């Protein structure tokens, strides 16, 4: 379990993780059927620095500045891991005319207009929604909400691996493998348990929790349909884009609930 947790943190973030004696290949690609069970806990660890920034920055700055610093810390912690997937998918699905060309664009390290627009809109939306939550609920409660959606958004990010074929049989998404359905559902239950506890601690009612839980997973479905139609399946970039879409959907729903009840 410790090995799976370490591999998760190392794969999904840029947080410094020491190399342990029991690790055979610490810098190789992880084996997803093995590591996925620790993804919910790893998500909390990866998101913790951003949550701490919310609480500390709120002492000195406005909600808007605090939200901006929070997203900055999030990007530093993850190395813009998921944002890179969002930009690549926007460029590939938006700019290519054939399956081969779309996959080629998604592999290209350069960023185009679609990808740039997707990143700008994503950051703008998340910053303003976080600022809205801080203003409506307070910094501590918002930090708990950010932690609560971290496991869920990453579980939603695994849906492309679970539901779609590999668009590139020789790509990284194919190399890391996919967990079986039983493992995914058990891990999802673990993620829901962690998320529910944090949402409850933040003051959310049971009705709100039950409303928030499915939103991110539903929001990812149009992306899955587009990926299957336009590139014949999924890649690692599609998984990253799915996490970003789910995260935005969760934040928007929490903000709507906070404003509705205030």
State pLDDT tens for residues 116-129. 999 999 999 999 99
Confidence of residue 188 (pLDDT cuts 50, 70, 90): very high
Provide the percentage of residues in the chain whose pLDDT is more than 70: 96
Picking from 28-32, 54-58, 202-206, which range would have the lowest pLDDT averaged per residue?
28-32
User: Cβ contacts of residue 117 below 8 Å, gap of 6+?
Assistant: 90
Residue 234 pairs with which residues in a beta bridge? 166
User: What integer pLDDT is reported at residue 199 of this predicted model?
Assistant: 97
Residue 7 located in a structural domain = no
Instruction: Report pLDDT digits (tens) over 36-50.
Output: 999 999 999 999 999
Please state, in angstroms and rounded to a whole number, the distance separating the CA atoms of residues 46 and 15.
7
- Please name the residues in contact with 189: beta carbons below 8 A apart, sequence gap of 6 or more: none
Residue 173 · residue 234 · CB < 8 Å: yes
Establish if 192 belongs to a structural domain.
Answer: yes
Mean pLDDT calculated for residue range 233-237? 92
C-alpha to C-alpha distance for 49 and 24, rounded to whole angstroms: 29
Task: Give the least confident one: 20-24, 192-196, 246-250.
Answer: 20-24
| 141 found inside a domain | yes
- Show the domain range for 215: 48-261
Task: For 192-231, write each residue's pLDDT tens digit.
Answer: 999 999 999 999 999 999 999 999 999 999 999 999 999 9
Q: How many domains does the chain have?
A: 1
Q: Which residue's entry shows tokens 């996959």?
A: 103
Q: What is the pLDDT of residue 66?
A: 98
Cβ atoms of 257 and 204 closer than 8 Å: yes
Q: Is residue 78 part of a domain?
A: yes
Per the domain annotation, does 91 fall within a domain?
yes
pLDDT (mean) for 63-87: 96
- The dihedral over CA atoms of 93, 126, 220, 43, expressed in degrees to the nearest 10, equals 110
Q: What was the pLDDT predicted at 172? A: 66
Q: Give the pLDDT band of residue 147 (cuts 50, 70, 90).
A: very high
Quick check: is 12 in a domain?
A: no
Would you say residue 84 lies in a domain? yes
Residue 168's pLDDT band (cuts 50, 70, 90): confident
- The pLDDT confidence band at residue 170, using thresholds 50, 70 and 90, is confident
Q: Report whether pLDDT(149) > 80.
A: yes
| First-to-last C-alpha distance (Å) of the chain | 42
Please indicate, yes or no, if residue 4 is contained in any of the structural domains: no
């Amino acid at each position: 379990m410790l090995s799976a947790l370490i591999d998760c943190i190392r794969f999904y973030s840029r947080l410094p993780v020491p190399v342990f004696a029991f690790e055979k290949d610490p810098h190789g690609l992880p084996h997803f059927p093995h590591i996925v069970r620790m993804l919910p806990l790893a998500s909390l660890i990866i998101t913790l620095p951003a949550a701490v920034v919310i609480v500390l920055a709120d002492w000195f700055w406005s909600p808007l500045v605090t939200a901006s610093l929070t997203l900055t810390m999030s990007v530093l912690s993850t190395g813009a891991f998921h944002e890179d997937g969002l930009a690549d998918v926007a460029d590939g699905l938006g700019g290519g005319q054939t399956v081969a060309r779309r996959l080629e664009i998604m592999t290209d390290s350069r960023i185009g207009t679609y990808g740039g627009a997707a990143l700008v809109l994503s950051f703008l939306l998340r910053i303003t929604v976080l600022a809205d939550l801080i203003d409506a609920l307070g910094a501590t409660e918002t930090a708990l909400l950010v932690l609560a959606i971290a496991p869920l958004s990453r579980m939603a990010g695994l849906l492309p691996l679970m539901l779609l074929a590999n668009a590139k049989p020789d790509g990284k998404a194919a190399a890391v493998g996919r967990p079986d359905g039983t493992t995914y559902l058990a891990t999802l239950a673990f993620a829901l348990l962690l998320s529910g506890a944090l949402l409850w601690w933040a003051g959310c009612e049971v009705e709100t929790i039950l409303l928030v839980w499915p939103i991110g997973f539903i929001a990812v479905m149009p992306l899955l349909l587009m990926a299957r139609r336009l590139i014949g399946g999924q890649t690692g970039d599609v998984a990253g884009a799915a996490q970003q879409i789910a995260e935005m959907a969760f934040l928007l729903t929490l903000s709507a609930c906070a404003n509705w009840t205030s």
